[in-house]
Amino acid sequence: MKPTTVLIADDEPEIADLIELHLMKEGYRCIKVFDGQEAVQTIRMNPVDLAILDIMMPKLDGYEATAQIRDNSHLPIIFLSAKSTDLDKIAGLVRGADDYVTKPFNPMELVARVNAQLRRATRFNASPSAGSKAVIEAGGLVINPEEHAVFVYGNKIELTPKEFDILLLLASHPKKVFSSEKIFEHVWGGAYYENNNTVMVHIRSLRKKLGEDQSQSKMIKTAWGVGYTFHG
């Protein structure tokens, strides 16, 4: 069995070395790079299972590196950054990260989050629930889980992995109300951020991309005080 490979991208070698030390103790193979451009190139040329990216890096910052990685891959991405406000965390998640860890950090907590993201990715890829790969059609919306693609009236809509997961979750259970906490639990695999604004921001961005910010007829409806539900 090939070892699980984690890419560590941070322009501070001491931090990259510390992360590598703790991940290698867990049996992971590590690849270290020191700028965002090298991170993108490495992932394109090597089988990488998870990436840990600093945000403030030379050549390409973590945001732009993530955008380019997401063009070809849905591997889990964890941002590791000194930017520590709630707005920074939400911005990181909306930009496509699966998790967000602030500096200074506890290396063992970071390892735990790596483990959690890899477990979730393994469950998603190896053990899909019955019917989860079926194409979903509702009105002008088409969701193709196999291709990770969404179309609205024939036009392909570019979603972040988290936006896609939220939409697939809601559309797979029409008219069922999901609380923000349940959405977080299903999509992120754990309540790392006890701030419902994270889900709310993703829902707002998702609605905008679906054109629902300008439409009176909404597929994603808010059940006030409870959560969100999908109506085709």
Where does the chain hold its CATH 1.10.10.10 domain(s)?
136-230
Quickly state the pLDDT bin for 10 (edges 50, 70, 90).
Answer: very high
Q: Given this model, what pLDDT does residue 26 score?
A: 93
Where does the chain hold its CATH 3.40.50.2300 domain(s)?
5-126
What ranges make up the beta strands (E) of 55-191?
Answer: 77-81, 99-102, 136-138, 141-144, 149-152, 155-157
Q: Given this model, what pLDDT does residue 201 score?
A: 86
Q: Given this model, what pLDDT does residue 197 score?
A: 78
Tokens standing for residue 204: 């707002």
- Assigned architecture for domain 136-230: Orthogonal Bundle (1.10)
Q: 105 burial class (0-12, 13-18, 19+ CB within 10 angstroms)?
A: middle
Least confidently predicted of 10-19, 26-35, 93-102, 166-175? 93-102
- Assigned architecture for domain 5-126: 3-Layer(aba) Sandwich (3.40)
Tokens standing for residue 36: 């965002």
CA atoms within 13 A on the CB side of 31: 19
Instruction: Output 208 or 132, whichever has higher pLDDT.
Output: 208
Quickly state the pLDDT bin for 38 (edges 50, 70, 90).
Answer: very high
Cβ contact 28:107 at 8 Å? no
Tokens standing for residue 229: 């539900």
Each residue of 109-160: pLDDT tens digit?
A: 999 999 988 887 776 665 444 345 689 998 889 999 988 899 998 899 988 8
List C-alpha distances in Å: 50 to 53, 71, 75, 88, 151.
Answer: 10, 15, 6, 21, 28
The rounded mean pLDDT for the chain is 87
From the list 37, 39, 35, 61, the residue with the least C-alpha distance to 48 is 39
Pairing of strands 77-81, 50-54: parallel
Residues 6+ apart with CB under 8 A from 3: 27, 28, 29
Mean pLDDT of the 75-82 span: 94
Does the pLDDT value for residue 1 go beyond 90? no
Q: Given this model, what pLDDT does residue 131 score?
A: 44
pTM: 0.74
Quickly state the pLDDT bin for 191 (edges 50, 70, 90).
Answer: low
Quickly state the pLDDT bin for 50 (edges 50, 70, 90).
Answer: very high
Cβ contact 77:57 at 8 Å? no
Q: For the CA atoms of 103, 107, 112, 113, what is the dihedral angle to 10 degrees?
A: 30
Q: Given this model, what pLDDT does residue 194 score?
A: 55
Neighbours of 27 (CB within 10 A): 8
Does the pLDDT value for residue 190 go beyond 90? no
